[in-house]
Amino acid sequence: MRVVVDASVVAASLVRPKGWTAAELRRTDVQWLTPSFLFDELSDHEVDLAHWAGCSQEEFRNRVSDLRRVLKTVSAASLVRSADDPLVRRAEEVDADDAAYFAAFVATKADYLWTRDRKILEAFPGIAVRIIPTSAASPTGGETGPRERNGQDR
């Protein structure tokens, strides 16, 4: 099962490394994905983000490093290639700042987008989820290899 995670999920795991979100990201039945731009932001704005997260810069760097071990990044080139997909266009109409996550979703043929964004959760039921189901309940039953989605959600 492939799942794209957005900034709200990444933020929760960085601020509360012992919390539920961080624990979920350690699940090995899921391939976790996120746009590469998110890690670019984490590197370039480490000082501010560490301050907002309420921890030292060193501690923040360690948390980001832990996150890098579980999150696979979707390259800028792949994201841009998927930018004109109808699903990405539709997401932009809901919130333009979420387009990159939908581009990652399309580029990787993911099963879900994990987010806490209420607008996105309401606008994209079946794609956007607040809790990741177990593999047995996922559309691909835990399959991790490339496959085509049936397209009914797009």
Partner 1 sequence: MATASKVTFEVPPELRAVMDRHPEVNWSAVFRQALLRHARTLEVAREIAAEEDDRRVAAVAEGLKAGAAERFRRARHARRR
Kindly state whether residue 149 participates in binding partner 1, applying the rule CB under 8 A: no
Q: Are 135 and 2 in contact (CB under 8 A)?
A: no
Q: Which of 20, 29, 47, 62 binds partner 1 (CB under 8 A)?
A: 20
Considering only residues 113 to 142 of the shown chain, the ones binding partner 1 according to CB under 8 A are 116, 130-131
Q: 4 Cβ partners below 8 Å, 6+ apart?
A: 33, 34, 74, 101, 104, 105, 108, 110, 112, 113, 114
Instruction: Show the tokens assigned to 21.
Output: 């979100």
CA dihedral 13, 15, 17, 23 (to 10 degrees): -30
Selected from 1, 3, 5, 49, the binder of partner 1 by CB under 8 A is 49
Q: Among 8-16, 64-72, 120-128, 139-147, which window interacts with partner 1 (CB under 8 A)?
A: 8-16
Closest distance between partner 1 and the C-beta of residue 10, in Å?
6
Task: Give me the phi and psi of 2, to 5 degrees please.
Answer: -110, 135
Residues 6+ apart with CB under 8 A from 7: 38
Among 27, 61, 66, 83, binds partner 1 (CB under 8 A): 83
Which stretches of the chain bind partner 1, using CB under 8 A?
6-8, 10-12, 14-16, 19-21, 35, 37-38, 40-42, 44-45, 48-49, 52-54, 76, 79-80, 83, 96-100, 103, 116, 130-131
